[in-house]
């Protein structure tokens, strides 16, 4: 059980980077690379270490955001007009995807799915059937199939619906499940609805009962909840607004390419701007930072730069700091019983936020106030009472 790197734009140089050795898997992004580039990247990744490389076909991306996706041979020209209930249509995609994955020499393929107009039982039945047919196509090739589970976050409040989805998807011959959580939560905002989070955790638990591996893609710090529910592997990316699959992440006004540096602090379970980080230090709250795996090699690099070269850009360092935290935390939760550990972490984080609020320590972004911690704790408590 290990962390996976969710590839995005210009992320290849981070593979094999210092202090990121907990990442043992890579999820490819055809959206960002044409076939020749993707093939070259895979060769370079193999030279850097032993990585489990997964191809995500990414057909769930909307028309206006597909970038280089259309250049890949499995991409159907009629994606937006086809009858997605047609077995023959999916068979053509699966055949092409099977051939392509063998040419790329990947280790696994996430089955193709589209973003549905309606999140119905029929949609999930199509997803399950498509996954099973892809598994048949890849039989005896040595390439695993992961059954893609694309879910609507807001649908996760209906337990009967969750069990229905789990029942449909569990009838699989794949080697695992690949979660893609779709929401309208804006970038750089945490999931904060207790019932929705609880529902996702229940679905993870139900599918984990099949004995197959659970991969959760596009994670942020909410990874700790998914690990507590039984997820085997979680994936993240360097860009904060790419750590979650939400259409609105492309709608933000960009400043300097939209690359804003953030320090991820375990003691608050929050992403901090530079001014907020320095405010904590200058106000006598140094003990609130560098907690647990936020205290890593890249933390020292950032703080040293602040001291020696104030004002110098630290975006690249911030990516590495977050990724180091993510990989180490994911590994820690894979080794130990995650539920009590995460409960204690979040309890401490909420206490720290209450202290800051009581002392009038305010951060630059008004909604960066820790108000997601209590829903996370409630979701964990509800889950532990009912499913642990």
* pLDDT at res. 244: 47
Q: Please enumerate in sequence order all residues whose Cβ is within 8 A of that of 282, keeping only pairs 6 or more positions apart, or say none.
A: none
DSSP 266-316: TTTTEEE-HHHHHHHHHTT-GGGSS-GGGSSHHHHHHHHHHHHSTT---HH
pLDDT at 250: 40
Overall number of domains in the chain: 2
Domain boundary among 205, 229, 250: 250
Q: What is the pLDDT of residues 106-138, one digit of tens each?
A: 999 999 999 998 999 999 999 999 999 999 999
- Whether residue 23 is found in the same domain as residue 106: yes
CA distance 2 to 105: 21
| Same domain assignment for residues 172 and 288 | no
Instruction: Give residue 385's pLDDT band: very low, low, confident or very high (50, 70, 90).
Output: very high
162 shares its domain with 226: yes
> Does residue 244 sit in the same domain as residue 270?
no
Clarify whether residues 29 and 104 are in a common domain: yes
**46 & 112 share domain:** yes
The mean per-residue pLDDT over the stretch 163-177 comes to 96
Q: Would you say residue 110 lies in a domain?
A: yes
Does a structural domain hold residue 81? yes
> Which residue range(s) make up the domain with 184?
3-250
Helix-helix angle 373-387:338-358, to 10 degrees: 150
| Per-residue pLDDT tens over the stretch 47-89 | 999 999 999 999 998 877 788 999 999 999 999 899 999 999 9
Answer with the one of 250, 277, 298 that is the final residue of a domain: 250
Residue 258 included in any domain: no
Judged by phi (left if over 0) then psi (alpha if -120 to 50, else beta), residue 211 lies in left
Mean pLDDT for 221-240 is: 92
* pLDDT-based confidence at residue 239 (cuts at 50, 70, 90): low
Query: What tens digit of pLDDT does each residue of 273-306 get?
Result: 999 999 999 999 999 999 999 999 999 999 999 9
Residue 256 lies in a domain: no
pTM of the model: 0.94
Give the residue from 223, 250, 277 where a domain finishes. 250
69 lies in the same domain as 28: yes
Asked whether residue 214 falls in the same domain as residue 280, the answer is no
Q: Phi/psi zone of residue 116: left (φ > 0), alpha (ψ -120 to 50 degrees), beta?
A: beta
Q: Taking residues 320-337, report their average pLDDT.
A: 95
Using an 8 Å Cβ cutoff, are 93 and 77 in contact? Answer: no
The enclosing domain of 201 has a CATH number of 3.20.20.70
């Amino acid at each position: 059980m290990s962390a996976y790197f969710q590839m995005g734009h210009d992320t290849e140089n981070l593979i094999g980077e210092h202090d990121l050795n907990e990442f043992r898997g890579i999820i490819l992004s055809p959206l960002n690379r044409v076939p020749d580039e993707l093939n070259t990247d895979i060769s370079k990744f193999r030279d850097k270490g032993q990585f489990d490389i997964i191809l995500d076909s990414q057909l769930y991306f909307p028309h206006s955001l597909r970038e280089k996706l259309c250049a890949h041979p499995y991409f159907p020209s009629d994606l937006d007009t086809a009858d997605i209930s047609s077995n023959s249509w999916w068979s053509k995609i699966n055949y092409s995807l099977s051939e392509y994955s063998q040419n790329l020499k990947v280790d696994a393929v996430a089955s193709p799915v589209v973003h549905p107009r309606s999140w119905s039982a029929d949609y999930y039945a199509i997803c399950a059937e498509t996954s099973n047919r892809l598994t048949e196509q890849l039989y005896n090739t040595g390439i695993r199939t992961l059954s893609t589970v694309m879910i609507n976050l807001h649908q996760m409040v209906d337990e009967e619906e969750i069990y229905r989805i789990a029942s449909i998807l569990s009838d699989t011959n794949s080697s695992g499940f690949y979660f893609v959580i779709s929401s309208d939560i804006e970038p750089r905002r945490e999931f904060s609805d207790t019932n929705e989070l609880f529902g996702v955790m229940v679905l993870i638990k139900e599918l984990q009962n099949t004995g197959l591996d659970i991969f959760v893609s596009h994670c942020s710090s909410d990874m700790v909840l998914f690990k507590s529910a039984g997820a085997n592997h979680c994936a993240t990316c360097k860009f904060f607004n790419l750590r979650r699959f939400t259409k609105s992440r492309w709608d933000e006004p960009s400043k300097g390419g939209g690359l804003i540096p953030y320090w991820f602090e375990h003691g608050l379970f929050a992403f901090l701007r530079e001014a907020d980080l320095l405010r904590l230090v200058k106000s006598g709250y140094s003990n609130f930072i560098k907690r647990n795996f936020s205290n890593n090699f890249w933390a020292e690099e950032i703080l040293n730069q602040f001291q020696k070269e104030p004002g110098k850009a630290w975006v690249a360092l911030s990516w590495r700091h977050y990724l180091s935290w993510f990989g180490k935390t994911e590994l820690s939760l894979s080794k130990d019983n995650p539920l009590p550990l995460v409960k204690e972490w979040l309890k401490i984080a909420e206490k720290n936020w209450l202290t800051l609020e009581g002392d009038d320590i305010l951060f630059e972004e008004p909604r960066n106030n820790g108000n997601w911690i209590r829903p996370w704790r409630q979701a964990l408590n509800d889950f532990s009472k009912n499913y642990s």
